[in-house]
Structure 1
C-alpha cells in the first residue's frame, strides 16, 4: 500500500468512524508493519486529523445525549411539568416551561438564582417550576423541608419569599435560625417547624428524587427548558438562547 493510499484510507476512516473499515488481517506481517509506520508518519505530519476526529466524536456523543435526554423528558412529562405539588411561578400560562432542580446549599444554584430571575422577568412568557432536590447533606434537606413547610402553612407567596431567603442564607439550618427566618417572613414559626417532618413533605422530596433518578440527574442545578435537559449552571445569555430555540 503506497503512502498516499495509506493516508487516504486513514483520513477516510477517521472521518467516517466505525462505518468504514478494511480488513487488516488480510495483510502480511510485513505489510502490517509498513502500514503501521505509514499511519504513524501521517499522523505526525497531520496531527489536526486526530483533533478533527475527536471533535467529530464529541459532537456525535453530544447529539446522542441530547436525543436521549429529549426522550427522557417526553417519557416523564407529566411528572416534570404537572406533578400537582411543585411551586409554579413566572407566567402560569407561559408558552415555555422552565423547571429547575435545585439545592439551596449548592453554590452554582446560588450563582444561577439571579440570572433565572432575570430570565423570567425579562421574558414575561415563561412558566417556572421549582423542584426541591436536596442532595448536599442534612442542611440541604432541612432547607427544602423548611421551604415546603412554609408553603403548606402560608401559601405560594410565602414559599417564594422563603426560597429567595434560603438561596442567600449563609448560616447553618439550626432551629433558632429557622425560627428567625420564619419570623422575618411573617410566618408562624411553630407551625412551620411542626410541619417540616410531615408525611406530605417527605413524599414530595422522595418523589422528586425518584424523578431525578429517572432523568439521570445527579447534580444541581439541572434545568428542563421546553423539551431540553440542561445539566449544570448556564449563564443568562445561554438560557435566553435555549428558550428562543425551543420557541422556534
Structure 2
C-alpha cells in the first residue's frame, strides 16, 4: 500500500508542471456582483468530462462552482452544500475542480478526479466534503488517505490519476476557467451570470432566485 501511494504521488507531481503555480483565493466580500456570460461558456462547462453534477439531473437552474481544495471560501461553500441541495431540490449543482493554489492542490485534484472516474458523482460528494473537513493544506497524500478510508481501490486509482485523460480534464477546466475570467476561487456560474468570490448560503439562494426570474 505504501509503495502504491508513493508511486501515485510521484506521478501526480510529475504531471503538474504545466499548471499555474499560484493564484490567490477570493477574499471575503459582502456579495459578489453577477456578470453576464455567453451561454456557450455555460454549456461548455456542463460538457466538461470533469464536471461533477449533483442534485436534480435536469434542474430548472444550473449553479456551477469552480473550486480549489485549499481555498478557505471553498471550504465554507462545501459546508453549505448539503443544506443548499436540500433547500433547492430543483437545482442542478456542478462542481469543477480548478486547482489554482499550487502543487498540493494539483495532486489532491488528480486523486479526486481519479476517484470521480471510478466511483461517480454520488460517491464523489462524500470525498468532496471529507477533503474540506481536513485541517491545514490538502495534498495528494491526504486525499489518498481519505479515499482509502472511503474504501477506494488505490491500485485502480493510481492508473486513473496518472492517465493522460485526467491531465487533459484538468487542462480543459483551466482553459474554460480562463475564458470565463476566473482568476480566483471560488467562482460561480448561476444561470448565465458569473460571480467571483465567496457566497453565503443566503447569497447563493438569492442568485438562484434571480436566475429563475
TM-score, with length taken from structure 1: 0.67
The residue aligned with 1:115 is: 80
Indicate which of 52, 70, 93 corresponds to 1:105: 70
The residue aligned with 2:139 is: 173
**Structure 2: how far apart are the matches of 1:164 and 1:73?**
30
Offset at residue 163 of structure 1 (A): 1.3
**Structure 2: how far apart are the matches of 1:159 and 1:238?**
25
Offset at residue 195 of structure 1 (A): 1.9
Verify: 1:150 aligned to 2:150, yes or no: no
Structure 2 SS opposite 1:167: helix
The change in CA–CA distance for 1:139 and 1:238 in structure 2 (over 3 A counts) is: same
Which deviations, in whole Å up to 9, do the C-alpha atoms of 1:115-173 show, x marking residues without a partner?
Answer: 23322211111001111100111110111111111122223332222211112222553
The total of aligned residue pairs comes to: 180
Runs of 4+ in structure 1 over 6 Å off: none
Q: Tell me if the contact between 1:73 and 1:229 (Cα under 8 Å) persists in the aligned partners.
A: no
The change in CA–CA distance for 1:174 and 1:155 in structure 2 (over 3 A counts) is: closer
- Per chain length, whose mean CA-contact separation is higher, i.e. which structure has more relative contact order (CA < 8 Å, sep 6+)? 2
Offset at residue 179 of structure 1 (A): 4.0
Gaps of 5+ in 2: 1-32
Offset at residue 178 of structure 1 (A): 4.1
The residue aligned with 2:208 is: 243
Offset at residue 105 of structure 1 (A): 0.7
Structure 2 SS opposite 1:76: helix
TM-score, with length taken from structure 2: 0.78
The residue aligned with 1:39 is: none
The residue aligned with 1:44 is: none
